Amino acid sequence: MSDKQDASAEDRPRRGNRKLIGLVAAIAIAVGGVIGVQAFADSKAYDHLRLSADYGGGWHGGDHKGFADMSDADIEAQIERVVKHVAIEIDATPEQQQRITAVVASAAKELKPVRDRMHATGKELHALLLADTIDRAALEQLRAERLADAERISKNLIAALADVAEVLSPAQRQVLDERIQQFRGMRKGWHRG
Could you tell me the residue ranges of all domains in the chain? 64-190
Considering only residues 70 and 31, tell me which one the structure prediction assigns the higher pLDDT.
70
Closest to 45 measured CA to CA, from 83, 82, 88: 88
Which pTM does this prediction carry? Answer: 0.58
Q: What is the mean pLDDT of the chain?
A: 76
**94 Cβ contact partners less than 8 Å away, ≥ 6 residues apart:** none
Q: Is the model's pLDDT at 79 over the cut of 80? A: yes
Of 35-49, 75-89, 129-143, the one with minimum mean pLDDT is 35-49
Considering only residues 162 and 25, tell me which one the structure prediction assigns the higher pLDDT.
162
- Please give the average per-residue pLDDT across 121-142, as a whole number: 92
Tell me the C-alpha to C-alpha distance, in Å, between residue 27 and each of 8, 16, 30, 34, 112.
29, 17, 5, 11, 58
Percent of the chain topping pLDDT 90: 18
The amino acid at residue 141 is Q
pLDDT at 59: 44
The amino acid at residue 99 is R
Beta strands in the chain (DSSP E): none
